[in-house]
Structure 1
Amino acid sequence: MKTKIGNVLMNYEYYHGEDLYSDGDIENEILEMVKGDFNVHEILSKDDRWPVLYHLSPYRYNLLDWYPFKEGSSVLEIGAGCGGITGVICDKNERVVAVELSKKRAEINAYRNSDKKNLEIIVGNLNEVQFDEKFDYITLIGVLEYAGKFTKTAEPYLDFLKSIKELLKPGGVLIIAIENKLGLKYWAGRKEDHTGIQFEGLEGYISNKGVKTFGKTDLINLLGTAGFQNSQFYYPMPDYKLPTQIFSDSCLPKVGELDKVTPSYDTKQIVCFEEYLVFNNIIQNGYFDLFANSFLVFTENHEGAAK
């Protein structure tokens, strides 16, 4: 079934009637917030709950607002959620296809971006969707870490990336945003973002909850094995969710340049040391890229076969 919300084409052909990923009842509230005319600044001035801030904050746009997408491009946004960055992707590209498991989240996305004439939202599991086109760009913003839950193979992360590669045009670009499992905030004692378990990523995800992030070397090797090349790393700070600074290998931070606090919006945290002071020491010794809290990666579809 296909229908429209405003100008947005909604595709329910792959939806099985159950939302498999949700923040709970608060998503009903967010849906009501974004129906009709709404002022996001007014909403956030009155409601500081983490899901509201995370899904609606304009800071989400900072992740890709600066990026020079090629003119006339098509983008596949996988795991679009409530549309935190869908709008900026639509503004910069000719055609955007967003895929989202949750009907509720997809409809939040559609209502908040109802003016976008170049947006189609497919509700369902990406692994079941049949595409008749390839894309110039594909985004995995906070998505790759969940491949272990939704790709049921012996090597879900590798196989997921290989399947993504098949949807990219030759020379197309995969854009990944993900936490660094070796990020300094975790050494300081902050809980792992997905499992809520302290030191979970540092210890190699021994609880095996079907979700994991990667260090820089892990990610480089994984992408290379999947057949991607020319990976360019950027470092959103304090993380990719609500970035206020973005650095790169060609423009690393200088001592004293980082914001002093890594905020914790959703849970109480035990912090063992002043992160910005330790970061200054790390920067001085040339290891910022290994301990940054998250990565933003642009990597190209190598036309040869995956290894």
Structure 2
Amino acid sequence: MGRHWKSRGIKGAAAAVGVLVVAATAVTITNTQAAPDDEEAPLAITNTLREKAAIPGTAWAVDPGTNKVLVTADSTVTGDRWNTLVSTVDSFGSRAKLTRTSGTFRPFAEGGDAIFAGRSRCSLGFNVTTADGQPGFLTAGHCVQAAQRMSLTPGGRPVATVQESTFPGQGDFALLTYDNANTNAPSEVDTGQRRKVRIVRAADARVGTQVQRMGSTTGLRSGRVTALNATVNYPEGTVTGLIQTTVCAEGGDSGGPLFSANGNAIGLTSGGSGDCRNGGVTFFQPVRAALAAVGARIGGGQSN
């Protein structure tokens, strides 16, 4: 998944897809220190992690079943950085668990349908209608670092222009509008083999639910939502408020749609580590938050 472009406005068009492969050895850090009150513990812990251990190659989220903060470090976290992370997690006692993964957190430049910024490929997320009735679409914010306009073929004629983008920071999303206001932009996801899923609404993710993802590299994949409001520390910066899942993804899947079988738009592929041969953990931008930020709604738009 990868890159950015207008802080809340344009930030490059390069596609990517991070996948956090948790093919790792769990290193559980515990000690006998007293833990904070149940309701305060996760917030206090994540605040401390942001202050003391926002290290590139790390991520964390709260396990709703145990109320424990799950911290993951990829293979780039070594030496003093690893020692800092271990000591920080150790200070939380039994309220936190540290896991080491063999993969690396990264955005993949290269989705639904493939879209290109120059020759960098990403995936189109969901078609939307802007506040003024124009047809447009959502994709990942890091996908729009290479260019302000995107095409349907490598180096091809631009068909859409970036209007807003966020990455890193409070999300990973971008809004583009089609250059031709009469573009037919149906509210559906093409899942291949002449099959399509009609997208009828935007919905929040729920832990434990089954979801599907479509991307231009690996096609249709499915998995389960494991955590909400996850924080990921990419090399480009920290991104907060993401959905964490077990769905695999690879480079070029970035920006692609996360949805349910009954037509709910849920997220946009952001990043992680791993691939679809070995599995992994992926992170997604919640669609409802992106729509609220850019003032758009799910559903294809077409100007009269």
Scaled to the shorter chain, the TM-score interval is: under 0.3
TM-score relative to the length of structure 1: 0.26
TM-score relative to the length of structure 2: 0.26
Q: RCO higher in 1 or 2 (8 Å CA, sep ≥ 6)?
A: 2
User: Going by fraction, where is strand more abundant, 1 or 2?
Assistant: 2
